[in-house]
Amino acid sequence: MVEQLLRLKLRLLGNAFRRSRWHIVGLVLGLAAGLGMAIAVIVGLVGLRFAPVDVAAHGVEVFGAILILGFVIVPLVFGVDDVLDPRRFSLYGIPTSRLATALLVSALLGIPALAMTLISLAQIVTWARNPLSILLAIIAVPVIVGTCILCSRVSISVAAFLLSSRRSRDSAGLLGFVALAVFAIGFILIYRTNWLEHGAAVLSGIARVASWTPFGAVWAAPADAAAGNVGPALLKELIALVFLGLLWLAWRQLVALMLVTQPRAAEARSYRGLGLFRAAPVTPASVIAERSFTYWVRDARYHASLLVIPVIPFLLMVPLLIIGVPTNVLALFPVPIMALFLGWSVHNDTAHDHTAIWLHIASGTSGRADRIGRVVPPLIVGVPLLVVASIISAPLYGDEGVLPALLGVGLGLLFTGLGLSSVGSAQFPYPAVRPGDSPFAAPQSVATASSLIQGLSFFVTVVLTSPALYFAALALFVPGYWAWASLALGTILGVLFLWLGILWGGRIFDRRSPEILGASMRN
């Protein structure tokens, strides 16, 4: 049984290299990145062999606990496509224990398991201090790998129940983006901590707590043995072994439950009334705008895009903070970044319609009406958001006089981005996530095309808005009315580019309607 599943897993891994050329390139790059990070950790663990025991212990315990915890959190938040789901074997009459064991062993064939094996072997070098620490470090190798694999399998199985519906999966993914924002804020706070004075105490406190948790005990046992603390070392090793046994029991019970439980069918929702369609005037542009609003309210693909917009500035601030950019200068970044991504949010909006774009083409809807209707939701959402963000950012910068410049840059990037998106979504549509699928999935055949189109749209948007950016930069360093000039120029040029983009994109839509339909159906 184990041999058959191992062969099946190897066949599945081999088939991944028989897809499109760009998919293989992405797969190889992903494998290289994963192994590269593992090698970096291994080098660090080997280097800690020459560090004092307490310093090495604090770093290993905190990092190890976070590493194992990641095997629990990632499947729950983002979901994982389990190719060896136990429910797929429910008709074969395989005993639960045999199936659970075989699936667990087959999970060892993968980059995460390989990386954790190499990392766990490297910690033997870290704790090669005395016979007991070496012995506990050797015992820790299968315990670490087994704990990580079992945490992952249990988490994936729990996610199969909790995230069985599309709405729950989408909500979990969106929460993952919120977690990224919280992590970025936490990193900024940690970075601002005076580590020269308080760093050792903070790290020691975190390590002390982590070493007694099931996630950190297996890493802490060899460290305590190296420090001569035999009693705590043996106790923590016992905690790690008990946790591993409990994980095995949980995994076995989950396999038994999944063998007799089929995936929950999706529940259809019913809606009453026409909503916005009842109140708004009946014109092609207004109807498309109302339908776009419906997408923005109900479609998880748009929810993901909207949630990314406030998260991205915090994520981009982390490297800037590391290289020493002052915090008051960082307050100027959220407004233009959010405006840039809001304008970009509809750059492939036509493809998101999938086959529904046929309704526009068959009904003879003009391209101009289609373009106007699609930019209304980001305008209604974006303009108030940028105004509020500018009012908040200007005092944080320390000079409220930059408020007009922030507004000018933000509105210029938003309007210009929407104008370019109106052209791009008609001229360069590429396959998008299908309606009903997870917003975090992506068609495998579009990696290069989508990256090129997105990068080009960002670059051209910034270039066309450069006059407003230039006057905004002058407002920061030269006294005068440059901030108001930035506001006027950004608004005027932005509205001009938006209208030109709607006209040009409308003509492209009218001319290339069959090609647009074909591109939308390729995903």
Residue 356, pLDDT score: 75
State the chain's mean pLDDT as an integer. Answer: 78
pLDDT digits (tens, 9 = 90+) for 259-312: 877 655 545 555 555 555 566 667 888 888 888 888 887 776 777 677 777 777
The answer to whether the CB of 401 falls within 8 A of the CB of 481 is no
Residue 453, pLDDT score: 67
User: Is 0.75 surpassed by the pTM of this model?
Assistant: no
The answer to whether the CB of 139 falls within 8 A of the CB of 217 is no
**Secondary structure (3-state) at 214:** coil
The answer to whether the CB of 397 falls within 8 A of the CB of 409 is no
Task: Say how far apart CA 234 and CA 223 lie, in whole Å.
Answer: 11
Nearest in space to 204 (alpha carbons), one of 195, 41, 70 = 195
pLDDT digits (tens, 9 = 90+) for 13-70: 666 666 656 556 666 776 777 778 888 888 888 888 888 888 888 888 888 888 888 8
Our CA dihedral for 194, 199, 202, 204, rounded to 10 degrees, sits at -170
DSSP 440-469: T---GGGHHHHHHHHHHHHHHHHHHTHHHH
Residue 415, pLDDT score: 94
Flag the least confident range among 82-86, 121-125, 220-224, 448-452. Answer: 448-452
Residue 445, pLDDT score: 45
The answer to whether the CB of 389 falls within 8 A of the CB of 410 is yes
The answer to whether the CB of 340 falls within 8 A of the CB of 316 is no
Task: Say how far apart CA 127 and CA 53 lie, in whole Å.
Answer: 8
How many CB atoms are closer than 10 A to CB 270? 4
> Measured at the alpha carbon of residue 24, what is the angle toward residues 19 and 25, in degrees to the nearest 5?
150
Q: Mean of the pLDDT values across residues 77-102?
A: 74
Task: Say how far apart CA 88 and CA 70 lie, in whole Å.
Answer: 26
Higher pLDDT, 134 or 2: 134
Q: Mean of the pLDDT values across residues 374-397?
A: 89
Task: Say how far apart CA 107 and CA 101 lie, in whole Å.
Answer: 10
The answer to whether the CB of 148 falls within 8 A of the CB of 68 is yes
The answer to whether the CB of 103 falls within 8 A of the CB of 255 is yes
Q: How confident is the model at residue 414 (pLDDT cuts 50, 70, 90)?
A: very high
Residue 94, pLDDT score: 78
Task: Say how far apart CA 506 and CA 367 lie, in whole Å.
Answer: 4
Higher pLDDT, 174 or 479: 479
Q: Is the pLDDT of residue 217 over 60?
A: yes
Higher pLDDT, 387 or 196: 387
Flag the least confident range among 136-145, 306-315, 328-337, 494-503. Answer: 306-315
Q: Mean of the pLDDT values across residues 497-506?
A: 92
The answer to whether the CB of 354 falls within 8 A of the CB of 488 is no
Task: Say how far apart CA 368 and CA 122 lie, in whole Å.
Answer: 62
Q: Is the pLDDT of residue 491 over 90?
A: yes
By the 10 Å C-beta count (0-12 exposed, 13-18 middle, 19+ buried), 84 is classed as: middle
φ/ψ bin of 94: left (φ > 0), alpha (ψ from -120 to 50), beta (otherwise): beta
Q: How confident is the model at residue 446 (pLDDT cuts 50, 70, 90)?
A: very low
Task: Say how far apart CA 34 and CA 30 lie, in whole Å.
Answer: 6
Q: Is the pLDDT of residue 313 over 90?
A: no
Q: Is the pLDDT of residue 487 over 50?
A: yes
